[in-house]
Structure 1
């Protein structure tokens, strides 16, 4: 005779949130259920994992944004970019990364915004860069590290090219697509996940 199963017995949860024992039940609207099921299909995760991830994200959201986007003044810049880009796209009816007019307008708009909020006194090379350039120059006397490290435009271009080099690596065959769908919540897990989200998002979809 088969005995009655003890509470908590049976197959144990596995996957992203293994070891779960507490039960939580609530009623939600059909529309919300449909959205959760859609994400479950896109990510290959169970509905339970999606719900728990989103609940955890609601508590971790501020810290996650800080880890991904930096200090408050850097996050403020990210919001400025988002607001201006959205405003331009609404008016042109085009995506900035798929339309030359909208992209050029965004570039000009951000230049004005950065000039408005930034500090534009005498340009002086930060001590940290001076010290770093000196160390690199000592290690490689034949190179001219001071040229790009002491010019703000050249140094900014160098940092941008380093970032884009990582993006170009991800764009190689099998480097992005094999990882599948990456949601907003997953994007902030690490720098690598954020880069994959950026590439995957900007590559997909048709023009408006």
Structure 2
């Protein structure tokens, strides 16, 4: 069975089990973060609502891309700003150039062993529009007006849970203008519940 078919079946099983749909338990969660998605390392469901009130950088990743060294910059960004309320969420995808062919375990080992990634990573998923697309990416594309065009496209969600801005694959996460926009968002207080 092809990996894509296996992922699609697992995705549908989680959706029917209610693990990927917004739930009443997360009623106060911003709509963009009101998803539960499987972690990369063990496919354990994680509620993205846990990141509400933080500045969230959402990035689709790939292990065999010319932009793969951005893992180092993403980890540095996360390390520099996590105490101030920033989190990076990585979503491996094989959508562009088949540059993420391995299993979730392969991707997890690569990220940890090659780049020392400690920011949250989620199971491989489809980030381009389509019937099996990651629901977070569907919403981000709708809000921003742009779906990822390649690996390492970055969406940034503000503390208020709203899409704030996007950066294309060529923008390094440590680029001065990207950092300036992140710092502006971090300076805003988290909304009160």
Q: Fold-level match, TM-score > 0.5?
A: no
Higher strand share: 2
TM-score by length of 1: 0.22
Task: Considering fraction of residues, name the structure with more helix.
Answer: 1
Larger Rg: 1
> TM-score w.r.t. structure 2 length?
0.23
Q: Structure with the greater relative contact order (CA < 8 A, sep ≥ 6): 1 or 2?
A: 2
